[in-house]
Copies of this chain bind each other. A is one copy, B any other.
């Protein structure tokens, strides 16, 4: 079997180059590769140090929005930790990050009865005037409803009361989150003075969920905040009986960009050291919690997966590169900076995988690459079955940080994780170490390590993302 593999791979590549629908490639992995990946998986399932890396990071850095003092400590932690673990070529690669800072925030119902509201500014929101803004609530349930009733929004505070569904995949989040990203400008278009949203989350805690918004630069920038779920319930209840007036104050805003860094470390490949399998996660976090699940977990998973690969009896052919990105939450400067700094090297990126989905159990391997990569995926997935990810989805996108490699066609992967409880804590003060599930961390390390070893040791190059599925230049 092994002897015919290069030939079939060659045929597949030719077919792809010719633009024809390529025939499925034959078996992709050597038996010793499969054996080594399986051994890594089983070693990880026996217990890893991934949770230890998370604790070490968040106890030292705490909250770490890009460019903040906590983030500086996180970068220092990354360099020191990866050096202490004897990785090769450990370095901090400079990137300039946007800086947004939250100072204080408060809100209350003014009428019919005064009462405190628990809310938090959305990331990148402008501040309110010092005394806040006060207005009548105009409640809608979607961007579409606002578009149809825009005339009613003038001079008011638009309240997007959109409830997120709890799902194991991203469906619930991706369906709900548009009001967070686009709500402020959508309301400003109709003359609203501010925006409140029901937190994009699945919990009922008095802890609001922050997260980035994106202003349309052609419209006035109005302040926007998220209400904790019980506070959104209150505004909703009062609104059923009559007009509700609310006041809120946000002291927050953009500051000068800061010099920061992606933290990079490597396990140098045995025979093709210039080819790269990238394992990504992000060091930055929102400022309310300590970023244990978002994305301390991912950092712990990829560090530990790489560490286990470095300790394996035989290193894979290609280089494993860990990248702890600087700025996922509010700007993607880390991912963009990496893609720019490594542009000449990207054709030699065999694959990239990102861990940025918390601490839930692995469910599948999702991927985005040329069609012949399916053969490789088909051989890797059985290795992942014992960790719960014994299936694949060809509609992946990797993750936000590595999405910047898509334009270059780098094959992108992710271990889809069970997100059932992730959005109870995501972007809240509640994102703390106790939410980490160590057994699931081990399962994710097992999946990432086995995948990464296989990708880095595969004899052929994985077919790159077809041009038609790459982003168009703006």
Contact = CB atoms under 8 A, between A and B. Distances in A.
A55 interface: yes
A206 interface: yes
B430 A206 contact: yes
Interface stretch (A56-64, A136-144, A214-222, A332-340): A56-64
A372 interface: no
A7 to B, nearest CB: 56
A59 B237 contact: yes
Q: How many copies does the complex hold?
A: 2
Interface string A70-81: 100100000000
Given A204-B434, A428-B206, A115 B290 contact: yes
Given A115-B290, A206-B289, A207-B205, A238 B59 contact: yes
Contacts of A207: 205-207
A439 to B, nearest CB: 17
Q: Which 9 A-B pairs have the closest CB atoms?
A: A62-B115, A230-B432, A206-B429, A204-B434, A206-B430, A60-B113, A230-B434, A205-B205, A233-B434
A59 B205 contact: no
B432 A233 contact: yes
Contact of A432 (B73, B206, B434): B206
A contact residues, range: 20 to 34
Nearest to A109: B62
A294 B238 CA distance: 21
Contacts of A114: 62, 69
A182 B77 CA distance: 40
A11 interface: no
Contacts of A113: 59-62, 73
Contact of A230 (B69, B115, B204, B430): B430
A368 interface: no
Interface in A262-296: 289-290
